Amino acid sequence: MTEFAAEIEKLAEHLLDLFCENLGLEKGYLKKAFYGSRGPTFGTKVSNYPPCPQPELIKGLRAHTDAGGIILLFQDDKVGGLQLLKDGKWIDVPPMCHSIVINLGDQLEVITNGKYKSVEHRVNVQTVGTRMSIASFYNPGSNALIYPAPELVEKMKEENAPIQYPRFVFEDYMKLYPELKFVAKEPRFEAMKAMEPHFQSQLLDFERELRIKSTISK
């Protein structure tokens, strides 16, 4: 399992660099944005969804977006149930052998200033077969300062598109997330925006700490 996790973490970081290339950001920007002073966090969760003869009476996993960064999912290659919301319609993500489903979380939406969106998804239980999945989460460090990438903000200004997203510390977002996980993500962003003035000094302290660490590393 340790070797599996190490390889998946490498893949997540490679994907972040590909995202940087696609967005026109400096290579490594997203990884640095996730770093904080303690480094990004990585974890893996195994889920089991047993069959139900009356699936309409139970919800496997309610609709939500993930709080973190990038999620790599090995889903069951025989039993379906995963759906994502696209253009107001729920679309099945069919089981596929030897494949990984890539999902984006709220933090990437903020950092890319909405260029990439976190994906609302859910899992429906099935009448036949037990669904198994292994989800690996590559998230920002707890004290990472999350905000829209300045380069993308400038591009959007040229397009007369406003800055939509707040500036916050990841651990503060995670304190808010559990209560609002199964509602639309926009209220979470608005709540963080409303809280921004209250921890402005904390944000400045984190920025100062990161600048010092960056200077030392050079």
**Domain regions of the chain by residue span:** 2-217
Look at residue 189 in the predicted model and tell me its pLDDT.
Answer: 92
Look at residue 200 in the predicted model and tell me its pLDDT.
Answer: 62
CA distance 136 to 131: 17
The answer to whether the pTM exceeds 0.75 is yes
| Tens of pLDDT, residue by residue, the chain (218 residues) | 788 889 999 999 999 999 999 999 999 999 999 998 888 999 999 988 888 888 777 778 899 999 999 999 998 888 888 999 999 999 999 888 889 999 999 999 999 999 999 999 999 888 888 888 999 999 999 999 999 999 999 888 777 777 789 999 999 999 999 999 999 999 999 999 888 776 665 656 655 655 555 555 55
Look at residue 207 in the predicted model and tell me its pLDDT.
Answer: 59
Instruction: Give domain 2-217's CATH architecture.
Output: Sandwich (2.60)
